[in-house]
Amino acid sequence: MFVTIPNQGYHFSQGQIKVIEEKYNAKYMGYWCTQRLKGGWNERPIDVFYQPNPDIEKGHKNYFGMFVQDGTVWITDATSAFSDTITGIICEDGEVIVSRYRHDYIEKDGRMIDGGRDYVRASLHPSASITVVDGEFVIKENVV
């Protein structure tokens, strides 16, 4: 089973993502929502990257996010993007489709999922629980 990482980011093009990966020696993880400081999930996703050797002396973490707001590029801690388990729906080809943010309706092969991290609305097909460990998606099929 696998989770597809989009070629295009939410805020950055494929080419821009490659530049960010090279500059920070990082791997693009896709676009995901992060948690708000006061609880709940942000409405808009950020492009999330995994950096295996962050400069912890400077307070850097393994997961950082980048986004554009009002024409300015911002970088932020994105650890919370993977702090909770992600729910996905398993497709016939082994892809596990996920909803990355609120109202991100995803459909494939008659299967669907929606709600991002705020809620899960999904078709009655086999589901999976996804965690992220060291920049890799770990998928476990949910047994009913």
Quote the strand ranges of the chain, DSSP E.
27-32, 46-50, 63-69, 72-77, 86-90, 96-98, 106-108, 111-114, 121-122, 127-133, 136-141
Amino acid found at 20: I
Q: Which two tokens stand for residue 74?
A: 């911002």
Q: What are phi and psi of 88, to 5 degrees?
A: -135, 165
> How do residues 52-64 score in pLDDT, each as one tens digit?
999 999 999 999 9
Q: Where are the domains of the chain?
A: 14-81, 86-141
pLDDT of 144 > 80? The answer is no
Q: Which two tokens stand for residue 88?
A: 């996905």
For residues 100 and 57, what is the distance between their CA atoms, to the nearest angstrom? 31
CB contact at 8 A, 117 and 41: yes
What mean pLDDT comes out for the span 70-91? 96
- % of the chain surpassing 70 pLDDT: 99
> How do residues 113-140 score in pLDDT, each as one tens digit?
999 989 999 999 999 999 999 999 999 9
